[in-house]
Amino acid sequence: MPRITPVNIEDLPLALGAGIAHARNSGVLSTPVPVQVWAHRPPLAQAWLATLQTFHDHALLSERERELIRLKIASVTQCQACQLARKSETISEEDIACLSTDDARFTTRESAALDFAGKFAGDYMAIDDVSYIQLQNHFSTAEIVELNMYCALMLAGGRMTYVQEAYE
C-alpha cells in the first residue's frame, strides 16, 4: 500500500489521465500507481510523465541500452519494484541475471553504459575525466548527455517510487 494515497484514475485531470493511458500503452509505465501518487501535484506529475515519454519516443540511446541502464541502477539501489518491472522485451532473464560490464553478452557500448550507470547509482565520486573519455569512445556528446539525464531520472524516480511505496 502506498504511503501516500494515490489519486483515483477517474479523479485525475483529463490530460494526466490520457498521459498515463498513453504511457501504459507504449510501455513507459508498467503501473500507473507512482503517477497517481504524484497526481496530488498534477502539473509536476504531468511534467515527470512527459519527460519519461520523451525519453521513450525520442531517445538517442536504444531501448535495450535504456532498459539495461534502468535495471543496473535498480540492482545497485536494490529497488525490488524496479528490479521486477520489465519495460523491454529486448532484455532476457540471462541479461538481467548478469548485468556485468565484462560479460560477452553485452556490446562494448552496452558495457560502457552499464559501467557508467553502476557508478552513477553507487559510486558517483568515481566518475572522473577518464570516465568521460571512455564514454566518448562509444557515444556522441548528445548521447553522453542523454545517458547522464536518463541515469538521473531512473535513480530519482526509482528512489521516489520506493520510499513512497508507490508500486503494486
Residue 78 confidence (pLDDT)? 83
**Residue appearing with cell numbers 557515444:** 139
- Show Cβ contacts of residue 43 under 8 Å, excluding neighbours closer than 6 positions: none
Task: Report the candidate in 55, 64, 125 with the shortest Cα–Cα distance to residue 96.
Answer: 64
**Residue appearing with cell numbers 500500500:** 1
pLDDT tens track, the chain, 168 positions: 899 999 999 999 999 999 999 999 999 998 999 999 999 999 999 999 999 999 999 999 999 999 999 999 998 988 777 777 777 788 777 777 777 777 788 999 999 999 999 999 999 999 999 999 999 999 999 999 999 999 999 999 999 988 999 877
Domains, in order of start, for the chain: 9-58 (no CATH), 63-163 (1.20.1290.10)
